[in-house]
Amino acid sequence: MNGFNYKYQAIKGGFEQVIKEVEREEIRRMGRTAAYLRKQVIKQIDNMGIKTQSRRLKKGIRYKREGDSYLIGATSPASHAHLIHQGTDTRFVKNYMGHQGVSVNVGYVAPKPFLTKTFQEEKDEIIKRLSEPL
């Protein structure tokens, strides 16, 4: 909206209406920034060479509005995202293939912090997008 419309609304509807419109614009801006950050996280997954056959990790990167803020992270179908992001210790499977008492080392997953890395790399851009004048 341009300055003329804000002045007109202030005269007609009072400052409350202007404040509500500014708050709505802030929420819209946060939503657009969250969408941008989601795309950057997906690009980071590719850049880090994280391979998943079913592409569930990329499909599970989402954002949602909660109150007057946005949350960004991994949800279903990427229920394994935390294992990729944080890594795992060496894991063993007990009773391997139904054999009682047989434990098999199935290895570990090295951490690949794709979310943290994206947030750090995009910090300046996020601040810029959220602090632009209305």
Residue 49 carries which DSSP code?
T
Which residue is listed with tokens 């509500």? 20
- The whole model's pTM is what? 0.76
Residue 62 counted as domain residue: yes
Whether the predicted pLDDT of 61 surpasses 70? yes
How confident is the model over 2-51, as pLDDT tens digits? 555 655 555 656 677 778 888 899 999 999 999 999 999 999 999 999 98
CB 107 within 8 A of CB 90: yes
**CA Rg value for the chain:** 22
Range of the domain at 10: 3-79+115-129
Candidates 82, 75, 43, 80; CA nearest to 59 is: 75
How confident is the model over 82-122, as pLDDT tens digits? 989 999 998 888 887 888 888 888 889 899 999 999 999 99
CB 30 within 8 A of CB 130: yes
Query: CB within 8 A of 64, min separation 6: which ones?
Result: 70, 71
Mean pLDDT on 69-89: 91
Residue 88 counted as domain residue: no
Whether the predicted pLDDT of 66 surpasses 70? yes
Residue 70 counted as domain residue: yes
Residue 124 counted as domain residue: yes
CB 45 within 8 A of CB 114: yes
Residue 84 counted as domain residue: no
Residue 105 counted as domain residue: no
Query: Residue 18 to residues 6, 24, 31, 131: CA-CA distances in angstroms?
Result: 7, 10, 20, 18
Residue 22 counted as domain residue: yes
- For the chain, the domain total comes to 1
CB 29 within 8 A of CB 129: yes
Residue 125 counted as domain residue: yes
Which residue is listed with tokens 């944080």? 86
